Amino acid sequence: MRFTTRKLAIFLLAAALPLLSSCGEGEKLVISGKLGKANRLNEQVKKLIRSRKYTKALPLARKALAYREKSLKPDHALVLESQDALATIYQATRRYEKASVLFWKRLATLERTVGPGHIEVAHTLYKMAPSFGNLGEFAKATTLLKRARAIYEKNLGLDHAFIADTLRRQASVYELIGLWEDAAPLLKEARSMRARLAKRARKNKAAKKG
């Protein structure tokens, strides 16, 4: 489902209402102020991540997460969003242990709230695998990616860009430990999948024009 800016604002406000209704007027203002700051910080963080300015994004992402954790329940979507952003920054700046802790925390919440087969679980598994690869925990990284692939296939079918990316990432893990024979078929499968997807996209585009 795609949200317009107006719909998203209404959705986020509705999500925060149960929390605000249990507070006194002074507490509501404090919570509202913290959430406003967190949201503004989060917008800056997203722009900095897109620009790969991770060092600048790091302190802002920490503050945004802290504000949201103080104002919202641990399983709130905005808390999970900030956890993902900060973990991504930690991973990009080679703070792999810190990244893995946050990713595990996010994963556990998602498995509990939306279920172990949800596509958001697959996204998290895919994102966290490089941290374990860089920590030398190659078996764990491979296990995470295999699980991500299985969830993607169940939700998206056998051919999808997410699956191709997962295959390439798993091949990279194998290459790190010199398992070239295991990496090669995964890379071949990923290339073939990308080719099929590109061909399908061209056909769909031509059909629309026709």
**Statement: residue 94 has pLDDT above 70:** yes
pLDDT for 32? 66
Closest to 163 in 3D by CA, of 193, 199, 130, 183 = 193
In the block, tokens 């699956």 appear at 163
Residue range 117-134, pLDDT digits in tens: 999 999 999 999 999 999
pLDDT for 31? 52
Higher pLDDT among residues 10 and 149, named by residue: 149
What integer is the mean pLDDT of 147-160? 97
CB 75 within 8 A of CB 109: yes
What integer is the mean pLDDT of 93-115? 97
Percent of the chain scoring above 70 in pLDDT: 84
CB 173 within 8 A of CB 199: no
Q: At how many degrees (to 10) do helices 5-21 and 77-92 cross? A: 110
Q: At how many degrees (to 10) do helices 119-134 and 161-176 cross? A: 20
Query: What CA–CA distance (Å, rounded) separates 65 from 83?
Result: 7
Q: Work out the pLDDT band at 13, boundaries 50, 70, 90.
A: very low
DSSP symbols for 1-37: -PPPHHHHHHHHHHHHHHHHHTS-HHHHHHHHHHHHH
Whole-model pTM: value is 0.81
What integer is the mean pLDDT of 25-39? 66
